[in-house]
Structure 1
Amino acid sequence: MSVSLNGVGLTHANGQVALSGIDLQVSSGERVAIIGPSGAGKTSLLRLLASNLRPTAGQVSLLEQQPWQLSARQRQHLRARIGLIHQAPPLPPRQRVVTAVLAGKLGQWSLVKSLLNLLHPVDMSGAAAALARLDLADKLFERCDQLSGGQLQRVGIARVLYQAPELILADEPVSAMDPVLAGHTLSVLNEEASRRGMTLLASLHAVDLALTHFPRVIGVREGRIVFDQPPATISPAQLDALYANEQLQVLPAPESTTQASVQIPRC
């Protein structure tokens, strides 16, 4: 089991309740999309799964380990088995793309190898292969500050693919891309995760992308899971209730989901 949450709650220091009563089981190799309105708790859930936030209630198990019962060093080793894809990847502006991608394995390399990599890329072919999967092979030696937002997001994804973690947590990984590129990028990410047996959880604001690309979709609202099911069984009424009080746009449902029209939030 990659992820196991039982009765998990998260209350911030200011008293704001971010998550409440979360029960979630995700098996190794599963691919799951998390959807919900702004402020629903999607990012808090992913940060908790990354062991960046400590729950205030319940039990968390990641990759068969309970992170908050480990020492700081052991928890760091656990985090090296988890790949994080950020909405705005934290890449130094003057860093070369090849170095940014190879940094995916810094947690696995020795200190000497990591330092050598800063002087000269130690696995140029590996970085190039990861970038090629995302149509960025020609950006290998570009500086990060010369890339668009969508290109930076794809570099962040390439970095995690190069890392080859057991668990991938992606927070709005395609938000800066146009719909066609976003769909293609999610296809690549899902294909790679499936081929390598990696578990993937991704929060997405674009509901149509979640329904099209993921075999399991979780709806989150006000810090609680309101549904957890295959996309073909999610009804327009469920989506209406999930996004109640948000401005909605009616778009046709993807062919892989119900034939009724689906409510998609405006981005």
Structure 2
Amino acid sequence: MSLRLSGVSYVHPNGQRALHDIDLQLEAGEQVAIIGPSGAGKTTLLRLLATSLQPTSGSLTLLEQQPVKLHGRPLRQLRSRIGLIHQSPPLPPRQRVVTAVLAGRLGQWSLARALLSLCYPLDATGAERELARLDLADKLFQRCDQLSGGQQQRVGIARTLYQQPDLLLADEPVSAMDPVLADHTLALLGEVARERGVPLIASLHAVELALRHFPRVLGLRDGRVLFDKASTQVSQQDLSALYANASLSTATPSPDSPVATVRPGRC
């Protein structure tokens, strides 16, 4: 079992409850998309799985360990095995792309090696290989602030892939990409997860992408799981209930989609 949440709830410091009694289990190699309206708790759930937050109640097991019981070096070691792709990756503006990608392994390197790599990239070939998967090999020595938003997202993905994590998390990883790039990138993430036999969990606003690229979909609303089922079993009624009272637009479904596309309004 790669991860298990049992009755997990989370309450923000201001008293607002973000998650309510979440039960979730993933085996190695499973791929799950989390969908739901803005404010549903998707990012909070991913932050719990990344160990940047701790559950207010319930139990959380990640990679056979319970983060709440870990401190210091054991907790850092666990975090080094978890890769989180951010919607807006934290890339220092003046940093070169090669250095940004190699930062994926800072948690696994010694301090001396990490500092040396900041001055002289120690594995430019490895960084270029991950960038090539995302059609960014030509940006290897470019500064991050010279990239578009979609290119910066892809650099963040390349950094996480270079990390080679045992658990792969993605928070709106393709929100700044055009449809073709978004399709290619999600297909790549799924391929890498299958190759490495690691679980992949991604939050997505684009319902059609979730249904097309993920075999399992979890619908989250108001911090509660409304459904957790195979993507082929997700119905229009499921989506209507999930996005009830949200700003919606319905488009003709693609040939690959089992139901009509429902797209929540942008925040």
TM-score by length of 2: 0.97
- Structure 1 distance, partners of 2:125, 2:42, is 35
1:82 is the counterpart of 2:78:
no
Which residue number corresponds to residue 9 of structure 2?
9
Contact kept in structure 2, 1:232 and 1:256, CA below 8 Å: no
- SS of residue matched to 2:40: coil
- Aligned-partner residue type, residue 96 of structure 1: R
The offset of 1:249, in angstroms, is 1.1
Contact kept in structure 2, 1:98 and 1:140, CA below 8 Å: yes
- Aligned-partner residue type, residue 128 of structure 1: E
Matches within 5 A, 1:175-186: 175-186=175-186
Once the two structures are superposed, residues 121-161 of structure 1 have per-residue CA deviations (whole angstroms, 9 ceiling, x without a partner) of 10011000000000000000000000000000000000011
The offset of 1:55, in angstroms, is 0.7
Aligned residues: 266
- Structure 1 distance, partners of 2:254, 2:197, is 26
- SS of residue matched to 2:129: helix
Once the two structures are superposed, residues 27-74 of structure 1 have per-residue CA deviations (whole angstroms, 9 ceiling, x without a partner) of 111111000000000000000111111111100000010001112321
Which residue number corresponds to residue 231 of structure 1?
231
Contact kept in structure 1, 2:208 and 2:257, CA below 8 Å: no
Which residue number corresponds to residue 128 of structure 1?
128
Q: Structure 2 stretches of 5 or more lacking a match?
A: none
The offset of 1:205, in angstroms, is 0.5
Which residue number corresponds to residue 216 of structure 1?
216
Contact kept in structure 1, 2:47 and 2:53, CA below 8 Å: yes
- SS of residue matched to 2:190: helix
Matches within 5 A, 1:62-211: 62-211=62-211
Once the two structures are superposed, residues 10-29 of structure 1 have per-residue CA deviations (whole angstroms, 9 ceiling, x without a partner) of 01111100000100001111
Contact kept in structure 2, 1:231 and 1:257, CA below 8 Å: no
The offset of 1:264, in angstroms, is 2.0
Which residue number corresponds to residue 265 of structure 1?
264
Which residue number corresponds to residue 247 of structure 2?
247
Contact kept in structure 2, 1:246 and 1:265, CA below 8 Å: yes
Contact kept in structure 2, 1:211 and 1:254, CA below 8 Å: no
The offset of 1:114, in angstroms, is 0.7
Which residue number corresponds to residue 42 of structure 1?
42
Contact kept in structure 2, 1:134 and 1:185, CA below 8 Å: yes
Once the two structures are superposed, residues 191-238 of structure 1 have per-residue CA deviations (whole angstroms, 9 ceiling, x without a partner) of 111111121100001101100001111000000111111111100111
The offset of 1:262, in angstroms, is 3.0
Contact kept in structure 2, 1:217 and 1:229, CA below 8 Å: yes
- Aligned-partner residue type, residue 265 of structure 1: P
- Structure 2 distance, partners of 1:70, 1:27, is 22
- SS of residue matched to 2:22: strand
Q: What's the RMSD between the two structures over aligned residues? A: 1.0
- Structure 1 distance, partners of 2:262, 2:115, is 50
TM-score by length of 1: 0.97
Contact kept in structure 2, 1:42 and 1:203, CA below 8 Å: yes
- Structure 1 distance, partners of 2:256, 2:217, is 13
- Structure 2 distance, partners of 1:200, 1:243, is 24
Once the two structures are superposed, residues 57-95 of structure 1 have per-residue CA deviations (whole angstroms, 9 ceiling, x without a partner) of 100000010001112321111000000100000010000
- SS of residue matched to 2:208: helix
